[in-house]
A and B are shown apart, each in its own frame.
Chain A
Amino acid sequence: MTVERFDLAIVGAGPAGMAAALEARRNRLRTVVLDEQPTPGGQVWRNIESVTTRRPQDLFVFGSEYADGFSFAQRFRACGADFRPGARVWQVEVATPVAAQARDPDPPGAFVLPSGSALDTGPDDEAVHVERRRTGADRHLFYTDARGAHHVAARHVLVATGAYERPVPVPGWTLPGVLTCGAAQVMLKTAAMVPGSPVVLVGSGPLVLLLAVQLLRAGVKPAAVVGTVPSGNYLRAAARLWPALLAPGYLSKGLSLIGALRRSGVARFAAATELRIEGTARAEAVAFRSGGREHRIAAQTVLLHQGVVPNANLWQSLGLEHYWDAAQRCFRPAVDTWGNTTLAGVLVAGDSAGIGGAEAALFAGELSGLSIAWQQRRIDTAERDRRAWLARRALKAHWSVRPFLDRLYQPPSAMRVPADDDTIVCRCEEVTAGEVRQLALTGVPGPNQMKAFSRCGMGPCQGRMCGLTVTELIAATQHRTPSEVGCFRVRAPVLPVTVGEVADLERPSGS
């Protein structure tokens, strides 16, 4: 089997991946873009082409930011990148042996683990650690689509796998009828379907507000919107309000959503605690405390949300240096201001490198595309830096709202570390918080021994649903920091692939 070779392989056709592809194509890089969905757009612009062309009457439901995705997707379609939809990347292999990396005569330079966001190093800081390298086609990607498993090679790989909603391990969260807010949005975008009433939204974050308003526009009045932001968060966030005011549009958009929700007359509750979803065969009600009182609201559909976290499995499987972001409560890869990681030829951009939102992801993707073009000698340093200047400024502006949002919407610990021992932490293997806590008390040193002892994280989702919870549960129980505790060691294949498909793949050439 001959292996197809590219200058650049991008995993994910959301904002970051599309922007990187546009930049790469502008510089004539042979580019392949692999995405598991049937059309480009990522989650934020999911199904944008079809909604725009086939049911434009629904666009008003989603708002102008969604509609803006169409022209971007059109430009992406026309940019000359080889777009492969329905392609699920399950392994990326870098042929460089571990030992050889240590002796690399042309090292990528000293990476500084950032203490905050990658932007803390500042746009003017010459944090460009990456030398121009003689990068051969030695990064191998394996993916599966409807026709089977495939192998492509590329000189650079950009991981732009986006984000997913933080799992919300509360009692009853595995019941049928409980979904994420994002799931309801996907139903609106891809199936033009709305949840049957009564529907209750529970959680915190911009998406709760946005979805509530979108449902109202679609003619569905939620029975309640239950907020879980602890009152202490407002104070902590207020200290970061000033830079947030400089970020384009975020706060005014938020206020207008709050206004719309208020005018709708939907029942709203604040600072809810002791959340649980009741029901036997499926969700029947949401119970919680708010304002000093117990509440119980009947619900056929319960939509949870506690913000989003990086979709990290692919970059984690590459063993990149990473760190715990205490404000975002998640692990992030160590990247320089271009998205270069500690592994030569591998970059991470957009929300998969840390939650900055869709607009920030566009500029991050553009910067990664520029850096790759420069590393492959398609542009010189002056041109790269000239082109990067605007993108960096925009990126910085978009990131300036994050310290505020991260603190305002930081999930309360009860939503991350279940207090109730019977709450399921690992949905796949049905491991409870009590079991994890008990093992942590006996001295299990971290998530990987926890996985071996409890099967937590061993199911088909490979720890996507329980990884952060397990880290924080161990940390809380053992009075250590999540950073000390660490995370699951993710191994390929990061998505299921059949034995037969792997058997039919040839050994990668060049390794």
Chain B
Amino acid sequence: MSTGRSAYGARPEFAIIGGGLVGWSIAYGLARLGRRVVVHDEGDLALRAARGNFGQVWVQDKGAGVPAYHRLTRESALQWDDLARGLREASGIDVGLRQPGGFSFCLDAAAFDARTRLMRRIQAEAGDHGFEFEMLERGSLERRLSGAPALGRKVVGASYTPYDGDVNPLRLLRALYESAIALGTTHRFGSPVEAIDPVVGGDGFEVRTAWGTAWTPQVVLAAGLGNRLLAPMVGVDCPVRPVRGQVLVTEKVRPLLPFPTADIRQTDEGGLLLGSSQEEAGFDDRVTIGNAGAIARRAVDTFPAIGGLRIVRSWAALRVMTPDGLPVYEASASCPGAWVVSCHSGVTLAAVHVHGVAAAISRGSLPSQYAHCSAARFAGPAQAAGAAASPATAGKEANVPQPA
């Protein structure tokens, strides 16, 4: 049994700090390449954005103003089929991937216009790469959604892109975990990492926890909000902050929505997920009725039939948000062998984390496609302006969640 107290078995080549979607994606990716990996994880009640994920593989409104991020997201969505197949073979777990394209509903004319401008902008910025989207007015939307519940009166239309999909995020976490374990990854849980000390002379790192210190040649920081404190220990700035999101879960119903939408989707188990708020609430991850009410109202305005369904659970979780909303992929310049990975889209980007990012870390260098995610950007004036002019979220419709 791996209780987390045992010493490392075979000496690991990589210690990954963080047992969430990002950490286990990189661990699984490295383990697939034959690398020996240990994952350091906290206890049961850590903040764990991975357990609060909405479960979308979501492309459509990502990366306005930063075409490289849009391309990265698209690439991950394209690779998701491979990822799901690999996980099924390695763990026997079907993560329930479907990618029929997704809708984002607009509840008034202004929202529809803003959405149209956003889609056009992303298309223009995509250039030769291309970006297909449709803006569906109410009539054509109703025809497209035949079979789904009737739309509410407020719905004026929706955007649709063919790239979007969803998975079961909890089964994804379990599948990544079991696949990595099956490939020999060690799991040490129960004690947060307190410090990472680069060994003098560039000879690896000492990872300190309450239970002792372990040496590792290379370290990957995937600690979510913990990266804010840990990354500077390896010479990288990672100014992430919590952004609370709440999700309501209804009782299970027969298949109702054969496609994901920006803020309502049906899990393969039958429950509807209604999401999700964006709240600046610090580290308070309690659920509040005020925000739940706003989520419920939007859901009922979209599909009135949802109003009669019972909420059986709700949760609030803290997104890991950078000032500009973009991920962080960084190889520490001052501490070679230390890597910092951070994002708020652990599901959508899981495929590139398992494939591209893990391969780059294994190889020892990040290719240029990740340049826009360098932590170096936080050193410049962009940091101060980040929140106001955040390119990744610019033009996003109010109330629409930052999809995972």
Contact = CB atoms under 8 A, between A and B. Distances in A.
The answer on direct contact between A and B (beta carbons under 8 Å) is: yes
Nearest 7 interchain pairs by C-beta: A446-B44, A500-B307, A503-B296, A496-B310, A507-B290, A502-B296, A443-B2
Contact of B293 (A459, A460, A506): A506
Interface in A441-495: 441-443, 445-449, 452-453, 455, 458-460, 462, 477-479, 485-486, 489, 491-493
Contacts of B365: none
Given A445-B190, A499-B310, 15 more contacts: A98-B283, A98-B286, A442-B2, A442-B181, A445-B43, A447-B44, A448-B51, A478-B3, A485-B44, A491-B287, A491-B313, A491-B314, A500-B308, A503-B296, A511-B290
B203 interface: no
A5 B296 CA distance: 25
B282 A99 contact: yes
A325 interface: no
Contact of A498 (B51, B173, B310): B310
Contacts of B43: 445-446, 486
B2 A99 contact: no
B108 interface: no
Secondary structure at the B interface, as helix, strand, loop or mixed, is mixed
Contacts of B44: 445-449, 485-486
A97 interface: yes
Contacts of A486: 43-45
Contact of A497 (B45, B51, B310): B310
Interface string A237-261: 0000000000000000000000000
Chain A interface size, under 10 / 10 to 19 / 20 to 34 / 35 or more = 35 or more
Nearest to A457: B313
Given A446-B43, A452-B51, A91 B289 contact: yes
Given A491-B314, A496-B251, A445 B41 contact: yes
Nearest to B269: A455
Nearest to B272: A499
Interface string B299-316: 110000011111111111
A93 interface: yes
Interface in A399-423: none
A109 interface: no
A498 to B, nearest CB: 5
11 contacts: A93-B288, A445-B44, A448-B45, A449-B51, A489-B45, A491-B287, A492-B289, A493-B314, A497-B310, A498-B310, A507-B293
Contacts of B189: 443, 445
Contacts of B3: 443, 478-479
Contacts of A496: 251, 310-312
Contacts of A507: 289-290, 293
Contact of B311 (A97, A441, A478, A493): A493
A446 B43 CA distance: 7
B306 A499 contact: yes
B88 interface: no
- Interface magnitude class on chain B: 35 or more
Contacts of B308: 498-500
Contacts of A462: 312-313
Interface of B: 1-4, 41-45, 48, 51, 170, 173-174, 177-178, 181, 187, 189-190, 248, 250-251, 269, 274, 281-284, 286-290, 292-293, 296-297, 299-300, 306-316
A296 B43 CA distance: 45
Interface in A84-135: 91, 93, 97-99
A468 B45 CA distance: 17
A499 B287 contact: no
A142 interface: yes
Contacts of B174: 452-453
A503 B299 contact: yes
A452 B2 CA distance: 19
Nearest to B246: A491
B66 to A, nearest CB: 32
Nearest to A463: B313
B45 A505 contact: no
B59 to A, nearest CB: 25
A453 B313 contact: no
A198 interface: no
A443 B45 contact: no
A243 to B, nearest CB: 37
A136 interface: no
A502 B306 contact: no
Nearest to B294: A507
A407 B306 CA distance: 49
Nearest to B306: A499
B187 to A, nearest CB: 5
A449 B309 CA distance: 27
B248 A97 contact: no
A140 interface: yes
B4 A443 contact: yes
A319 interface: yes
Interface string A200-221: 0000000000000000000000
Nearest to A440: B1
Contacts of B41: 445
A508 interface: yes
B287 A500 contact: no
Contacts of B293: 502-503, 505-507
Contacts of A500: 296, 300, 306-308
Kindly name the residue among A97, A496, A499, A500 whose own CB sees the greatest number of chain B CB atoms within 10 A. Answer: A499
Nearest to B191: A445
Given A448-B44, A489-B45, A496-B251, A443 B187 contact: yes
A459 B270 CA distance: 12
Contacts of A497: 310-311
Contacts of A502: 248, 289, 292-293, 296, 311
B300 A452 contact: no
A499 B313 contact: no
Contacts of B42: 445
A508 B292 CA distance: 11
A508 B251 contact: no
A319 B284 CA distance: 12
A96 B174 CA distance: 35
Contacts of B309: 498-499
Contacts of A453: 170, 173-174, 177
The winner among B3, B173, B310 for most chain A CB atoms within 10 A is B310
B314 A499 contact: no
A445 B45 CA distance: 9
Nearest to A454: B174
Contacts of A493: 311, 314
Interface in A184-212: none
A489 B308 CA distance: 26
A455 B281 CA distance: 28
Best-surrounded residue of A441, A452, A459 (most CB of chain B within 10 A)? A452
B289 A140 contact: yes
Contact of A452 (B173, B178, B297): B173
A497 B293 CA distance: 12
Contacts of B296: 499-500, 502-503
Nearest to B299: A499
A248 B32 CA distance: 68
A460 B250 CA distance: 9
User: Which of the listed residues A142, A446, A492, A507 has the most CB atoms from chain B within 10 Å of its own CB?
Assistant: A492
